[in-house]
Homo-oligomer: A and B are copies of this chain.
Amino acid sequence: MEGYRVLEIKQSVFENNDREADKLREQLKQEKTFLLNLMSSPGSGKTTTLKATIAALKDEFRIGVMEADIDSDVDAATIEKTGAKVIQLHTGGMCHLDAGMTRQGLQGLDTADIDFAILENIGNLVCPAEFDTGAVKNAMILSVPEGHDKPLKYPLMFSICDVLLINKIDVLPYFDFDIEACKKYVLRLNPNMKIIPICARTGEGIDEFAQWLREHITAWNA
């Protein structure tokens, strides 16, 4: 039997998502829980990146993960093996999570004993960018096989994130991916973006991401 719960979350009914998101952030601040919203295309390596990140930080923080997926439990089963607390959220076809849905997930996860909560959002570069989940920071992954032109095509996602992980850098020799052009496109949209090249599979670059998280989690939970 699996050790994780599956929660069918319902579309939320709040007219003003931005206000709900702000309320959720205030509550997280009071409860000393840092929430990271992790977004990307399908298949760019969100779950593998989370596994490596949890391994790097699990001795310092109590970590809880919400795996949002339309239908399957594949990712919760993977994350469960890291020892982190995990809950699978089923969005029932919804292509994003808003603040109300994220609140349902946090309640299902029960964040009373969690310092660092992570929402693995639906694999989608469009819709999740449009809804503030209430997270303290937004992270995104762009993987090398997707191409360096993606900031031109999905500008909102690259504009609203705080950190960009360029993943699968081990396969750079096999793809026509110009990392400097990518950085230039990203920084033109979002001059404050922290950009970290990583390979989640081998662990390359995960230390730098873990350090970025460590600083932000510690400041938030102080």
Which residues on A are within 8 Å of B, measured CB to CB? 41-44, 69-72, 74, 93, 95, 122-127, 130, 143-147, 149-150, 152-156, 168, 170-171, 174-175
Contacts and interface: CB of A to CB of B under 8 A. Distances in A.
Given A145-B171, A171-B145, A174-B174, A42 B125 contact: yes
A71 B41 contact: no
A175 B143 CA distance: 13
Contacts of A152: 71-72, 74
A74 B125 CA distance: 17
A146 to B, nearest CB: 3
Contacts of A44: 146
Given A153-B74, A154-B70, A174-B171, A43 B126 contact: no
A74 B43 contact: no
Nearest to A152: B72
A123 B153 contact: yes
Nearest to A122: B126
Nearest to A201: B176
Contacts of A153: 42, 69-72, 74, 123
